[in-house]
């Protein structure tokens, strides 16, 4: 039983014995004592005052004395107004460290046959452009969340929906057809997604030139946008695609294949993956069928122009278009179709959509529609709504070619990491190939940590130079802490020190050492909090605090040079478990932990 559970049980027994009242676990507010205040756990007494009918101080003292008398783990108590602080005996924390050390997957819960099945959708790229900085945040949040939810005992399916149809796709196709001169990724030595993205930008450039020319001839801007030859041709190409024109379909498949190969390369570099990928070109027809079924059942209504709508006004929302008058679908229709196919493939208990906060209303509506159509999990679907990410220079625009390309950013991060390592003289102790591999891990750790440490609901500015600093709240600082501990442990092995030996009883430990064990012991609760709040930032900030606390301990205390063998063993075992928890926390964030740096 966990220490906090033992204290909670003892407090419940105290209330029963002292005041003759039964209380539930939920009424006991027990938390880790704040730093710089004496104690290990703090009980908030105020909720119990109606039962005790006494002052906060008197209630706290009576409960505290009872617990101290009946629970051997509690060595002392302190009352601060309506707060009761429990101090645990030092040997209790040593035993806690031994328990942590003995638990192979400390903090992680394995899934069982009864575990809920959670599906997480993230990435959702368009096949008219490469992945950019905004996609990086989306992918890293989704992938990290999948690991966190799996670590607390869920079955998890990672899924992606690729936006591979529509007018924006046709714009890239048309521009390549008109201006590409048969260029291929192979002929240009260019990633396929970059090539296609260049022609999306080319379309916009030529389209704007046509608009300008038409306006110079006296046409209004609105008319010029609608009647520009390029736009008319793109719309015609879309109609041909929807009618199955063989030539258009062949071009669409060819250019999409270039993009998918490029996406796969970027996903591999980011270290993210999917269990199942869906494509809008396959799901939108399923969505139309479900909407037509709903119309036949009276769940939706049709307007005079033939368009199909859902009336959600009685649920505090608006009327929502589901099919246009010409029978074509909208994004909502496609999401319904995708949901239907997913439920056919998996018996989902919970669905989580990792999508930016500009789509908040969309997912409120989708939840209502899915539930109305018979998907039980639709009622409780989760929109993991996250904020936008920018660079110090400002916002990005895909059409104008001012986005921060994901591949370019990763290249820059790896170059910076390699140069920093060379400046620190690390090439003197390793081969260039090893240095490059370590630099890659550090660069990706810097990128991922900088993005994931921010509360996902907030907008953020990504600063590449700041992220790769080896000091401060950064990924490289945490990775370096892990590597430092591994170096210590290797030296201990070289000195024939058996770190697996049992720690001696009655060691006199410093407050810093006790604080480190306490910090380790909270890892399962932190992991559960991150899962409950759908927030990788909870893990990121926890592991930074742990690394910072260890480095302070390392600075103040000897390990390999400690003359007291029992104390040396304790500190080495403590260090080993700090490293283990750091590695597990980094794993949850999708970050590799280098063995040496």
> Domain for residue 98, yes or no?
no
Q: What is the CATH number of the domain that holds 306?
A: 3.40.50.620
Please enumerate, as own/partner, the contacts of 111-117 that have beta carbons within 8 Å and a separation of 24 or more. 111/150, 111/153, 111/154, 111/155, 112/153, 115/153, 115/154, 115/155, 116/154, 116/155, 116/349, 116/350, 117/154, 117/155, 117/156, 117/157, 117/346, 117/347, 117/348, 117/349, 117/350
257: left (phi over 0), alpha (psi -120 to 50) or beta: alpha
Do 573 and 424 sit in the same domain of this protein?
A: yes
> Domain for residue 456, yes or no?
yes
Do 532 and 572 sit in the same domain of this protein?
A: yes
Do 396 and 422 sit in the same domain of this protein?
A: no
Q: Are 176 and 194 in contact (CB under 8 A)?
A: no
Quote the Cα angle for 201-203-206, to 5°. Answer: 110
Retrieve residue 221's tokens. 């801007």
The domain of 522 spans: 406-588
Do 582 and 481 sit in the same domain of this protein?
A: yes
Structural domain ending residue among the three candidates 42, 58, 88: 88
> Domain for residue 207, yes or no?
no
The residue among 475, 446, 457 whose CA lies nearest residue 354 is: 457
Retrieve residue 218's tokens. 């006296």
Query: Side-chain half-sphere of 549: how many Cα atoms within 13 Å?
Result: 22
Do 399 and 548 sit in the same domain of this protein?
A: no
Q: What DSSP state is assigned to residue 86?
A: E
Quote the Cα angle for 579-581-586, to 5°. Answer: 95
Distance (Å, whole) CA 94 – CA 75: 14
Distance (Å, whole) CA 112 – CA 117: 10
Structural domain ending residue among the three candidates 375, 404, 433: 404
> Domain for residue 103, yes or no?
no
| pLDDT tens over the chain, length 597 residues | 778 889 999 999 999 999 999 999 888 999 888 877 888 899 999 999 999 999 999 999 999 999 999 998 899 999 998 999 999 887 888 889 999 999 989 999 999 999 999 999 999 999 999 999 999 999 999 999 999 999 999 999 999 999 999 899 999 999 999 999 999 999 999 999 999 999 999 999 999 999 999 999 999 999 999 999 999 999 999 999 989 999 999 999 999 999 999 999 999 999 999 999 999 999 989 999 999 999 999 999 999 999 999 999 999 999 999 999 888 888 899 999 999 999 999 999 999 999 999 999 999 999 999 999 999 899 999 999 999 888 776 554 444 445 688 999 999 999 989 888 877 766 667 788 888 999 999 999 999 999 999 999 999 988 877 888 878 899 999 999 999 999 999 999 999 999 999 998 788 888 899 989 999 999 999 999 999 999 999 999 999 999 999 999 999 999 999 999 999 999 999 999 999 999 999 999 999 999 988
Do 356 and 489 sit in the same domain of this protein?
A: no
Q: What is the CATH number of the domain that holds 19?
A: 3.30.1360.70
Query: Side-chain half-sphere of 224: how many Cα atoms within 13 Å?
Result: 15
Total domain count, the chain: 3
> Domain for residue 506, yes or no?
yes
Prediction pTM value: 0.89
Do 360 and 421 sit in the same domain of this protein?
A: no
């Amino acid at each position: 039983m966990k220490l906090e559970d033992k204290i909670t049980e003892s407090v419940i027994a105290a209330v029963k014995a002292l005041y003759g009242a039964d209380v539930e676990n939920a009424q006991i507010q027990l938390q880790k004592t704040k730093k710089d205040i004496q104690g290990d756990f703090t009980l908030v007494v105020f909720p119990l005052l109606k039962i005790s009918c006494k002052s906060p101080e008197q209630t706290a003292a009576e409960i505290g004395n009872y617990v101290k008398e009946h629970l051997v783990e509690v060595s002392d108590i302190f009352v601060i107004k309506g707060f009761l602080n429990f101090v645990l005996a030092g040997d209790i924390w040593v035993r806690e460290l031994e328990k942590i050390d003995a638990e192979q997957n400390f903090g992680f819960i394995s899934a069982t046959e009864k575990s809920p099945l959670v599906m997480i959708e993230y990435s959702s790229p368009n096949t008219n452009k490469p992945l950019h900085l905004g996609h990086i945040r989306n992918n890293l949040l989704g992938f990290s969340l999948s690991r966190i939810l799996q670590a607390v005992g869920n079955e998890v399916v990672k899924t992606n929906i690729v936006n591979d149809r529509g007018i924006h796709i046709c714009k890239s196709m048309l521009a390549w057809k008109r201006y590409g001169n048969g260029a291929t990724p192979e002929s240009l030595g260019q990633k396929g997604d970059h090539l296609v993205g260049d022609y999306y930008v080319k379309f916009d450039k030529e389209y704007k030139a046509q608009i300008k020319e038409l306006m110079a001839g006296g046409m209004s801007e609105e008319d010029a946008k609608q009647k520009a030859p390029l736009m008319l041709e793109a719309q015609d190409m879309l109609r041909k695609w929807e009618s199955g024109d063989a030539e258009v379909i062949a071009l669409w498949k060819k250019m999409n294949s270039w993009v998918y190969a490029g996406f796969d390369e970027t996903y591999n570099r980011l270290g993210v993956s999917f269990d199942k990928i869906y494509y809008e070109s396959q799901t939108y027809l399923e969505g139309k069928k479900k909407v037509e079924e709903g119309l036949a059942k009276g769940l939706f209504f049709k307007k005079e122009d033939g368009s199909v709508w859902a009336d959600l006004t009685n649920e505090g929302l608006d009327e929502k278009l589901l099919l246009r008058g010409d029978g074509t679908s909208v994004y909502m229709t496609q999401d319904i179709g995708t949901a239907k196919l997913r439920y056919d493939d998996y018996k989902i208990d919970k669905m989580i959509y990792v999508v930016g906060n500009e789509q908040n209303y969309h997912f409120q509506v989708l939840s209502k529609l899915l539930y109305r159509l018979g998907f039980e999990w639709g009622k409780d679907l989760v929109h993991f709504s996250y904020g936008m990410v920018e660079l110090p220079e400002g916002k990005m625009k895909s059409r104008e070619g001012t986005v921060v390309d994901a591949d370019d950013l990763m290249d820059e991060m790896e170059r910076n990491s390699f140069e920093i390592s060379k400046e620190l003289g690390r090439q003197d102790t390793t081969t260039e190939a090893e240095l490059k591999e370590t630099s890659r891990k550090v660069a990706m750790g810097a990128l991922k940590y900088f993005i994931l440490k921010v509360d996902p609901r907030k907008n953020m500015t990504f600063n590449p130079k700041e992220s790769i600093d080896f000091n401060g709240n950064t990924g490289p600082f945490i990775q370096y802490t892990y590597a430092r501990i591994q170096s210590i442990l290797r030296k201990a092995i070289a000195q024939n020190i058996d770190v697996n030996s049992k720690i001696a009883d009655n060691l006199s430990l410093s407050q810093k050492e006790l604080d480190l064990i306490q910090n380790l012991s909270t890892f399962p609760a932190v992991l559960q909090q991150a899962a409950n709040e759908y927030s990788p930032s909870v893990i990121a900030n926890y592991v930074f605090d742990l690394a910072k606390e260890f480095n302070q301990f390392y600075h103040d205390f000897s390990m390999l040079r400690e003359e007291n063998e029992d104390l040396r063993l304790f500190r080495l075992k403590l260090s080993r478990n700090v490293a283990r928890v750091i590695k597990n926390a980094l794993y949850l964030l999708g970050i590799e932990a280098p063995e040496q740096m």
